[in-house]
């Protein structure tokens, strides 16, 4: 016969496991690794005595009884884990009555009782078949990631010649760091017979990106069709296929595609290696996973680049971020050079960007929360989003639209914090038929090619001529046409 109360009860314990069948026992085993401050309560005296033999603090009793609860030490977290719904429900109610601050995890017998337990005071309800399914998916995905990584490694180790790693147009930190990582994996898989070169088209715009390329000493070459033709293998990173956000012809045969953008048409079945994961926040996240799985050392510059890639593609973990992105970022964090990262993320402003800020601020017009600003002729379009980022922070402004003109296009950049408005859709509706336009609910851009008008010398004048009807379209879509449009 065991005593109903342990001899020297501690005042408080961290965990109480109420109901110690197979689920309860497994929870106890998991908890032991973290804390010895565990109290177990079960109806079966024989089980309690076994637990005591294993040195557990165990009590026999009815977990639904308020008078039993009164004799127990105070606990912070309770697991209510019997296989009987009525018992669990009564236990939750009894705990809630006595100890309102306790966090309760309860086991549900079926999906319907899960709802009842939740509304009766359980903070977390687990339904074992669900947990098993989730664990199975997690494990098999891990295994799959490992297989994919090995397949890439094996493929690269059998190649001979030059691998051209091609980023998307106007490469961003995600694309640049992914290219760097793929080159590192290739060098580790096949140091003797395979050479890597990294190519890009367009410009490496934002100061942050240029600073990144300089500080991390990444060698990137401008795309040249003749050189590409001479390369033995082609890999696309952060771009879903040839001709999609890169200047390759859509018919080009590529050998590797690694990306997190959806691909409408699906990649060419002849592509030797494809890993496209539209759910993920960044391509750098995929490459980080490969390096972990393959156990390839990640040096400081690469870790810094990849972390910056994940951070900037997820807007500092605020957009499209998944637990996997966070895991990969956590893996990189201790390997990064925080000073270097600081230097990259706070680069000096270029003179032109500062000038554009000045013009954008001076020429701003505001009405009903909309700010519109014409910055005129700019050499580099990258100062526009930065100006929009700045202006959207202005008090009373919910939507900011900054526009200007480059040598060959009218460029617009918009930021929005009005939840009723999807600024990407607005720009698409307004300018999608005459240019490239679209984006997210909170940030969007448009580029309208000048075509024949590119020869016009006075770009500022051209802009004011073309812009009026275009702006009218914008203001009418957002519903500003009748009120105060003239002020804009």
Q: Which residues bind Mn ion (CB under 5 A)?
A: 174, 238, 283, 313
Number of neighbours of residue 134 by Cβ within 10 angstroms: 10
Nearest residue (CB) to Mn ion, 167 versus 207: 167
Nearer to Mn ion, 313 or 325 (CB): 313
Q: How far apart are CA 471 and CA 477, in angstroms?
A: 10
Query: Residue 238 or residue 382: which is nearer to Mn ion going by CB?
Result: 238
Residue number with CB closer to Mn ion (263 or 350): 263
Pick 178 or 374: Cβ nearer Mn ion:
178
SS3 readout for 6-42: CCCCCCEEEEEEECCCHHHHHHHHHHHCCCCCEEEEE
CB of 380 to Mn ion, least distance (A): 21
What residues have CB less than 8 Å from 263, skipping those under 6 apart? 240, 241, 244, 276
Q: How far is the CB of 283 from Mn ion (least distance, A)?
A: 5
Instruction: Check if the beta carbon of residue 353 is closer than 8 Å to that of residue 207.
Output: yes
Tell me how far, at minimum, the Cβ of 20 lies from Mn ion, in Å.
48
CB of 354 to Mn ion, least distance (A): 28
Least spacing, CB of residue 286 vs Mn ion, in Å: 10
Strand, helix or coil at 103?
strand
In whole angstroms, how close is the CB of 205 to Mn ion at the nearest point? 15
Among residues 42 and 313, whose Cβ is nearest to Mn ion? 313
Query: Is 246 or 283 the residue whose CB approaches Mn ion more closely?
Result: 283
Asked whether the beta carbons of 371 and 397 are under 8 A apart, the reply is yes
| Measured CA angle at 347 (ends 341, 351), to 5 deg | 170
* CB contact at 8 A, 314 and 325: yes
Q: Beta partners for 447?
A: 411, 436
CB of 313 to Mn ion, least distance (A): 4
Question: Is the CB of residue 91 less than 8 Å from the CB of residue 83?
Answer: no
């Amino acid at each position: 016969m065991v005593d109903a109360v342990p001899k020297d009860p501690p005042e408080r314990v961290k965990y109480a496991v109420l109901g110690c069948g197979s689920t309860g026992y497994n929870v106890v085993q998991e908890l032991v690794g973290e804390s010895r401050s565990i109290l177990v309560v079960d109806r079966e005296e024989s089980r309690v005595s076994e637990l005591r033999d294993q040195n557990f603090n165990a009590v026999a009793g009815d977990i639904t009884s308020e008078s039993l609860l009164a004799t127990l030490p105070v606990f912070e977290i309770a697991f209510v884990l019997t296989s009987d719904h009525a018992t669990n429900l009564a236990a939750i109610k009894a705990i809630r009555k006595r100890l309102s601050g306790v966090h309760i995890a309860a086991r549900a017998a079926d999906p319907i009782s899960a709802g009842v337990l939740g509304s009766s005071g359980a903070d977390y309800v687990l339904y074992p078949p669900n947990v098993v399914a989730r664990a199975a998916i997690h494990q098999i995905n891990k295994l799959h990631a490992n297989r994919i990584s090995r397949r890439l490694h094996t493929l690269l180790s059998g190649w001979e010649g030059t691998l051209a790693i091609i980023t998307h147009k106007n490469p961003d930190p995600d694309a640049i760091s992914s290219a760097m990582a793929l080159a590192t994996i290739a060098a580790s898989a096949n140091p003797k017979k395979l050479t890597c070169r990294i190519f890009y088209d367009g410009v490496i715009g934002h100061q942050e990106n240029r600073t990144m390329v300089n500080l991390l000493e990444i060698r990137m070459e401008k795309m040249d069709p003749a050189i590409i033709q001479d390369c033995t293998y082609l890999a696309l990173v952060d771009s879903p296929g040839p001709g999609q956000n890169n200047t390759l012809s859509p018919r080009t045969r590529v050998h590797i595609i690694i990306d997190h953008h959806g691909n409408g048409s699906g990649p060419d079945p002849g592509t030797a290696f494809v890993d496209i994961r539209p759910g993920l926040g960044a391509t750098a996240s995929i490459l980080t996973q490969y390096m972990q799985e393959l156990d390839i050392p990640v040096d400081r510059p690469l870790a810094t680049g990849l972390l910056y890639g994940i951070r900037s593609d997820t807007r500092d973990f605020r957009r499209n971020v998944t637990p996997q992105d966070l895991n990969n970022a956590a893996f990189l964090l201790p390997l990064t050079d925080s000073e270097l990262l600081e230097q990259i993320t706070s680069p000096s402003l270029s003179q032109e960007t500062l000038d554009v800020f000045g013009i954008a601020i001076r020429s701003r017009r505001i009405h009903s929360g909309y700010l519109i600003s014409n910055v005129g002729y700019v050499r580099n379009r990258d100062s526009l989003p930065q100006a929009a980022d700045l202006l959207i922070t202005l008090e009373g402004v919910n939507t900011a639209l900054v526009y200007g003109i480059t040598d060959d296009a009218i460029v617009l950049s918009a930021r929005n914090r009005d939840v009723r408005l999807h600024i990407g859709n607005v720009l698409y509706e307004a300018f999608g038929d005459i240019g490239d336009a679209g984006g997210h609910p909170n940030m969007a851009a448009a580029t309208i090619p000048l075509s024949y008008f590119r020869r016009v010398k006075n770009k500022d004048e051209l802009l004011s001529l073309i812009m009026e009807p275009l702006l009218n379209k914008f203001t009418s879509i957002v519903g500003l046409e009748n009120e105060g449009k003239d002020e804009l």
